[in-house]
């Protein structure tokens, strides 16, 4: 699973179902990180913490965590798109660049177009 998301950009192919599942898993994981940070802030405030005094430090830590999680999601998504494009037989770089501008449309197309028979049998 992690090899598909964060492994080599230059090799590998994944099928439609795996592509859909892994991209949804990445998005769900990002949402969970955000919810955990929000829950942590709520617990801190309910425990008597003063958001005025600790707000800057905690805010920077939360921002850094969300930044790292966001970069991980972007890298994972682009890697999955590249592998799915390779499975379909499309050129990888133009597909990834188009995905950057039209994410949902390209994701939907990649989820519906069947892969090449040679890649599916391997």
* Whether the Cβ atoms of residue 6 and residue 79 lie closer than 8 Å to each other: yes
Do residues 4 and 13 make contact, with C-beta atoms less than 8 angstroms apart? no
* Non-local CB neighbours of 38 within 8 Å, separated by 6+ positions: none
pLDDT in tens, 43-82: 777 777 665 666 566 677 888 888 999 999 999 999 999 9
When mean pLDDT is compared over 15-24, 53-62, 111-120, the highest value belongs to 15-24
Query: What does the pLDDT look like over 85-105, one tens digit per residue?
Result: 998 989 999 999 999 999 889
């Amino acid at each position: 699973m992690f090899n598909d998301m964060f492994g080599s950009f230059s090799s590998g192919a994944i099928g439609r179902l795996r592509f859909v599942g892994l991209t949804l898993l990445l998005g769900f994981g990002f949402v969970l990180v955000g919810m955990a940070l929000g829950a942590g802030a709520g617990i801190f405030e309910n425990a008597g913490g003063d958001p005025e005094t600790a707000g800057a430090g905690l805010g920077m830590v939360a921002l850094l965590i969300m930044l790292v999680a966001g970069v991980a999601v972007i890298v994972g998504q682009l890697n999955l798109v590249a592998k799915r494009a390779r499975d379909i037989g499309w050129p990888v770089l133009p597909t990834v660049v188009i995905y950057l501008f039209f994410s949902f449309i390209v994701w939907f197309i990649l989820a519906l177009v069947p892969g090449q028979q040679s890649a599916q049998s391997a």
